Amino acid sequence: MIQLENVTKTYPKASRPSLDDVSVGIEKGEFVFFIGPSGSGKSTIIKLLLHEVAPNKGKVIVNSKDVTSMRSWKIPHFRRSIGCVFQDFRLLPNRTAYENVAFALEVIGKTKAVARRVVPEVLELVGLGGKEHRYPHELSGGEQQRVAVARAFVNRPLILLADEPTGNLDPDTSIEIMRLLDRINRTGTTVVMVTHDSNIVNQMRRRVIEIESGRIVRDQPRGVYG
Amino acid sequence: MRVKYVLSEVLVGLWRNVTMTIAMIITMAVSLTMLGASALLYLQANEMKDYYYANIEVAMFLKSDVNDEQRQALDQQLRSDDLVQDYQLETKDKALEKFQTLWRDTPDLVNSVSAEQLPESFRVKLKNPEQYEDFAVKYRDAEGVDEVLDQRELLEKVFGILNSVQTMSLIAAIVMAIAALMLVGNTIQVAAYSKRREVAVMKLVGASNWFIQAPFVLEAVAAGVIGALLGFGILVLGKVFLIDGALQDLTNLLTPLSWDNVLLMLPFMAGAGALVSAVTAWTTLRFYLRV
């Protein structure tokens, strides 16, 4: 599903590479944590998978497509097969929960009729039934993140990327979000999550890949934060 | 649905920053008016050249004491000259007739001149008006010739003036166009900034590039086209009130400015306005919306 082959990424002006000769493979349907201290290069992996940045060396293969050599006009279409959740939710403040999710459908050309059918369903799935018409500021942090998850999942992506999705949430709310991601994972969606929340990693007991100074120092099935 | 979405985004975008939009439209309008005026002058000058050069003559004035022999010699020489297409003698009486029609509005002047005072002349049409110099050299010093005058020299001066007016309006158009371009670029940057959240989400969920960029580009194109319509309106007013109105006496000298030519400016200005705005907006977006 996801394949990094000897990937090196050095940002311009950086003294050392963010990722240094990293190789890793992730199977379809897996749930993987990338952990490590700030600045270790975890988030760079998400950016590489989305093709927000290109590696200096090596290959990034997602859905058996070589992202590194992908023509730039093909990237938007490629991104439709990937859902994304972030620490800061990235919701549109002037749109309701329903409209935020529908927006993601409409801008890739789905009709309003499709949105009317699909959006309530996915909001129900993330546990926001009955709160469709609230604005983000009328929702708690956990609820906002649920809207973000709904938006990421509404296109039924093959892969869900989560960059510190619990970073702004209290422990109890974090656990709820993790249950949600777990449920999405059980539908067959590959979940890749970057975090440094040790509680969560220890509780989930899923594959853990630890990165330090741009190198993989540990790759353990059913691992703990360590 | 997508068309409706894009159009409503364009309207919202134009309205969000309405003072900037107005500034953009005004500079566009002024620039395109200048451009249109310049293009009209260009068309007009070409039509005039065709018209006048087709009817142009060289006047060969004869001395007042010219005798029959000299006149006949010149007649002979002109008849056999390769440069000459056609010629005729303008007698003193004919010259008076012409003088009287030309100055019919000032009877005092007409009455004070008699046929005797006016010079005789040969009116010569050259095969190629450009060969005037060759012709003048040949006849300037001939017996009985007072002066060889080319109407072309006079016309060249008129065309020179028209040309410099055209150049000036073209320069003004370019200067205003630069201002308009900067305003378009700036407006697009502001628009892109105020929609940065939407744009970020659109990129994230994989909206196509044209879909992200189209509202911004169309916003600029709309301003360009509105500017062109205003500019065209100014040209029409100029034609009605200046060319056909206040300045009519002056413009009678020139060939008439046809409505066909004025109407031709509408697609020309709208096209130029739309194209320039679109290219500017699109280029700006390349830098501000890295995809």
The model's confidence at residue A49, banded by pLDDT at 50, 70 and 90, is: very high
- Summarize the confidence of residues A173-195 as an average pLDDT: 95
How far apart, in whole angstroms, are the C-alpha atoms of residue A206 and residue A192? Answer: 11
Quick one: tokens of A148? Answer: 């973000």
| Contact between B213 and B284 (Cβ < 8 Å) | no
Look at residues B153, B90, B78 and name the one whose alpha carbon lies nearest to residue B119.
B90
Query: Closest partner residue to B201 among A77, A103, A155, by Cβ?
Result: A103
Q: Considering only the beta carbons, identify the residue of A75, A79, A92 that sits closest to B197.
A: A92
Interface of B with A in 16-75 (CB under 8 A): none
Cβ-defined contact of A107 to B207 (cutoff 8 Å): yes
Burial zone of A32 (CB within 10 Å; 0-12 exposed, 13-18 middle, 19+ buried): buried
Among A107, A114, A135, most B C-beta atoms within 10 A, so best to mutate, is A107
Query: Is the model's pTM score more than 0.80?
Result: no
Q: What is the average pLDDT across A35-64?
A: 90
d(CA A160, CA A163): 10
DSSP helix/strand/coil, A117: helix
Q: Which of B197, B202, B291 sits opposite A107 (nearest CB)?
A: B202
Q: Name the residue ranges covered by the structural domains of chain B.
A: 2-52+156-289, 64-143
* Nearest residue to A80 via CA among A68, A98, A65: A65
Query: Does residue A43 carry a pLDDT above 90?
Result: no
Per-residue pLDDT of chain B (291 residues; tens, 9 = 90+): 567 777 888 888 888 778 888 888 998 899 899 888 888 888 887 777 777 777 777 888 888 777 888 888 888 888 888 888 888 888 888 888 877 877 777 777 777 877 778 888 888 887 777 777 788 888 878 778 888 877 777 777 877 887 888 888 888 888 888 888 888 888 888 888 888 899 999 999 999 888 888 889 998 999 999 999 999 999 999 888 887 777 777 666 666 778 888 898 999 999 999 999 999 999 988 887 765
Nearest of A50, A73, A57, A51 to residue A23 by alpha carbon: A57
Q: What is the per-residue pLDDT for B254? A: 67
Q: Scan for tokens 């940045």, then name that residue.
A: A53
Predicted confidence at residue B253, as pLDDT, reads 64
- Picking from B197, B200, B205, the nearest residue to A79 by CB comes out as B205
Q: Do B203 and A78 touch (CB under 8 A)?
A: no
Chosen for mutation from B8, B201, B289, B291 (greatest number of chain A CBs closer than 10 Å) is B201
Which chain A residues in 84-103 lie under 8 Å from chain B, judged by CB atoms?
84, 90, 92-93, 103
What is residue A141's predicted lDDT score, i.e. its pLDDT?
Answer: 95
- Name the DSSP class of A158: S
| Residues sharing a CB contact under 8 Å with residue A152, sequence separation 6 or more, in sequence order | A83, A84, A85, A160
Angle at A194 between CA A193 and CA A200, to 5 degrees: 75
Nearest chain A CA: its distance from B23 CA (Å) = 28
Give the pLDDT confidence score for residue A79 in this predicted structure: 93
Does A202 reach chain B within 8 Å, measured CB to CB?
Answer: no
pLDDT of residue A28: 94
The reported pLDDT for the residue numbered B77 is 83
> Do residues B291 and B209 lie in contact, with contact meaning Cβ atoms separated by under 8 Å?
yes
pLDDT at B89: 83
B1 interaction partners in chain A (CB closer than 8 Å): 106, 111-112
Given a contact cutoff of 8 angstroms between Cβ atoms, the answer to whether B207 and A107 are in contact is yes
Structure-block tokens of residue A48: 């590489």
Phi, psi for residue A188 in degrees, rounded to 5: 105, 0
Contact flag A77-B5 (C-beta cutoff 8 Å):
no
Give the model confidence (pLDDT) of A157-180 as tens digits: 999 999 999 999 999 999 999 999
Collect all residues with Cβ–Cβ distance below 8 Å to B12 and sequence separation of at least 6. Answer: none
Residues A184 and A169: their CA atoms lie apart, in Å, by: 19
CB distance A62 to A208 below 8 Å: no
**Separation between Cα atoms, residue B213 and residue B262, nearest integer Å:** 34
Is A135 at the interface with chain B, CB within 8 A? no
A75 touches chain B (CB under 8 A): yes
Q: Would you state the pLDDT for residue A127?
A: 93
Q: Return the CATH number of the domain spanning residue range B64-143.
A: 3.30.70.3040
- For B163, the token pair is 């040309």
Could you tell me where the DSSP H helices lie in chain B?
2-16, 18-55, 68-79, 92-102, 107-111, 132-140, 151-194, 196-205, 209-237, 248-251, 259-288
Whole-number Å distance between alpha carbons of B96 and A220: 115
In chain A, DSSP finds a helix count (H) and a strand count (E) of: 7, 10
A62 DSSP β-pair partners: A2, A65
What pLDDT score was predicted for residue A61?
A: 94
Phi-psi region of A13 (alpha: psi -120 to 50; beta: other; left: phi over 0): left
DSSP, collapsed to helix, strand or coil, labels residue B9 as: helix
CB atoms closer than 10 angstroms to residue B244:
13
pLDDT for B51 equals: 77
Q: Which residues of B60-87 are buried (b: 16+ CB within 10 A; e: fewer)?
A: bbbeeebeeebbeebeeebeebebbeeb
Rounded to whole angstroms, the Cα distance separating A207 from A218 reads 10
Please tell me the distance from the alpha carbon of residue A119 to that of residue B157, in angstroms, as a whole number.
Answer: 75
- Which ipTM score applies to this complex? 0.89
Q: Which residue has the tokens 């979405």?
A: B5
pLDDT at B290: 65
In the prediction, which pLDDT does B1 show? 52
> What is d(CA A63, CA A75) in angstroms, rounded to the nearest whole number?
13
What's the mean per-residue pLDDT of chain A?
Answer: 93
- Tokens 């007009």 found at: B44
- What backbone phi and psi angles, to 5 degrees, belong to A71? -65, 145
Inter-residue contact B243 to B257 (CB < 8 Å): yes
Asked if the Cβ–Cβ distance from A76 to B206 is below 8 Å, we say yes
**Nearest C-alpha neighbor of B67 from the set B166, B143, B180:** B143
Non-local (6+) Cβ contacts of B131 within 8 A are B83
pLDDT of residue A30: 95
CB contact under 8 A, A106 and B208: no
